[in-house]
Structure 1
C-alpha cells in the first residue's frame, strides 16, 4: 500500500505532466511570440518540478506513474475541439488559465488527502501550487 508521501508525489508527477503535455500541444497553435515565450518558461518550471518528484519517488524505491494514455488523449481531443475554430491568443490564454486553476485545485486536494506526506513532498506540492496560481494570473493578462 502506498504511503501518503508516495501518493502526493504521484499526484505531483501527474499534475506536472498534464501541464507539460498541454503546453507542448498548445505551443504549436499560436503565432503570438510573447505567449509562446511564456508557455516555454512555464513548461520548464513543470519539467523541473516533475524531475524533483521523480527523484523523490526513486529515493522511496517507487516508480512514477505518469499520465495514462487515455488521459493524454482526452486532453489532446479537448484542446483540438476547443481550438478548431478559434486559435486566438485570448482563447488559448483562457484555456491555459482554466487548466492552471484546475492544477491549483488538484494541489489543494492532495494537501488535504495526504496529510502525513513528508515535509519535502508537501513543500514540492506547495511550490507547484504557487507556480500554478501565478501561471493562472499570468494567462489572464493575455485575455
Structure 2
C-alpha cells in the first residue's frame, strides 16, 4: 500500500548542515541526499558532534544514535577508532554513528556522567537506552548495538 502524504515520514538530521530531512524508511537504502545542502545523509563514517549539534541529532532523528565518547590522549580510544569507523558502514542507515571528543566537549561528558573512555552510549527517541564502557572490536560493537536497538 503506498504511503499516504499524511503519514509522518522518519526524520534524519543532516551531518553537514544539521537540517532535518524526512525520508521514508523504504528510501534509506537508496542513499538519499539532504534536501537543503545536497550531500548524502549517510556517509558511512561517524559524524563529529559538539555541544551545539548533539541535542539536535539525539532529539530530532528517528534512527538510533550510537555515540563514542573518547579523547585524543586515550590509547584504547585510538585502538577502537578504526573499528568504530568500519562499523559506520555496516550499521548505517539503521543506526547513525557519532563521536564526541570529551576534551573538546567536557560539558557533554559531564551531562552524561562519562567516567571512563571510551564509552559507547546508544540513544533513541531523545533518551539514552544503553551504555558500554571500554574498547570493543568491530564485531562486538555491531552485536552490542544491534541487540540494544532490538530490545
With normalisation by structure 2, the TM-score equals 0.28
Higher strand share: 2
Higher RCO (Cα < 8 Å, 6 or more apart): 1
Higher helix share: 1
